[in-house]
Structure 1
C-alpha cells in the first residue's frame, strides 16, 4: 500500500506538503500540486477513506434498504439514488429487508454500524403503532428519508411516495375511456393504507362512469411479484 511518506520521499517534499496537496491547500503552488498528484497516480496511491472519515466525521456512505432487488419498482429507484450519490462523491450500501421486520431491524443496525451519513429506507409495513428501530433512529438523529409509504410507526420521517389514490383513479379512468367495463383490480394487503387508497381510486373512477364494481373482480395480490402473477391468473 502506497503511503503519503512514500510519495513524499519520491517527490522530494515533506509529508505535510503531500497531505496539503491531497486536501488542495491554498498555500501550495499549482506546479507542486500537479507534480505530486501525477506522481501519486503513477504510484497507485488510493486515499484511505476510513482514516479520512475519522478526521472529517463523515464516511461518504449512504445506506439504502429496499424490500427486494427482484421488485422492478425498487430496481428503478436504486439507479437514480446511486447515480446522484456518485455525483456527490458518495457510495451506496444496498441491503434487502425481504419484507421481514426482524431482518429490517438487523439491516438498519448493520448500516448504522458502518457509520453511514444517511439512510434511505423502504419500511416493512406492520400494524404495530411503534417500531423500536425507528424510534432509535429518531433519538440518534440519523438523517433518514423513507422511499415508499409511511406508516404510524415511522410517520415522523420525511418520505417520498406516490399519490396512490390518484394513480389508481387515473389508470381505471383510462381503461374506462378505452371502452372497458369489466376491469379487474389486484390489491395489496387489505390493512395497508396504500392498498386502501388504491382501491378507493379504482372504485371512484367506476362510480363516476356509472359502472357498478364487482367484488369478484377484486383479487388479493399482497406485495410480491409471485402473488401478483398468481392473482392475475385467477
Structure 2
C-alpha cells in the first residue's frame, strides 16, 4: 500500500515538473507597430527564433536595449504574459535616400543612416554624390547645400519630385537631375538651384509634357533653356 502511494506521488510530481517546464518555453511572440521591418526580422534580431529558449531566463530590459540598437527602431517596449512575449516598436521614419560610391543609404531627418543597400522607402528621389560618412551619419557642406536646395525645390514644386528619380552632385560641383517622366532625360541645372532655376525646370517639364517632346537632354545652365 505504501509503495503504491509513493509511486502515485512520484508520477504526480513528475507531471507537475513537466508542466512547470513547459510553461517556461515561449509559445508565441507578438510584434506590433512595425511598418518597414518584418516581424521575423525583429524576432531574429533578438535571437528569439528558437522557441526552446528558457522563458524564465529572458531579461526583458536587455531585450529592449538590444532592440533599440537597431538603426530602424526609435523606441521599443517588451513585456510577457504567461507564455506570450509581446513586442511593441516605433520605427524611425526614413526621410531620404542617398547614393555614395554606388551604395544606397536610407537616412532619417538627422541624416543618420538607417540602412545600406536595403532601401524600403519608395517613391523618393535619390541624392547622389561623393559625400562623407562619419559615425554612421552623412555629413559635409556639399551634402547639406545640395539637400537644402533640393528640399526647397521639391517643397515649392512637388510635381518636379514626382518626375525626378535622381539628383547628382558631380565632382565638378555641377547638379544633374535624371527625369523619368514625361520622358527619360538628363537635366543640367548648373552649380546652384535657385528659385529661377526651379521655375525654369518646372516650365520646361510642363512644356515637354504638353507638346510631347521626345528630348533626351534639357540644359538650364544658360539664360535660355536648351532642349535637344
TM norm structure 2:
0.24
Higher RCO by CA contacts (8 Å cutoff, separation 6 or greater): 1
Larger Rg: 2
Structure having the higher helix fraction is 1
TM norm structure 1:
0.23
Structure having the higher strand fraction is 2
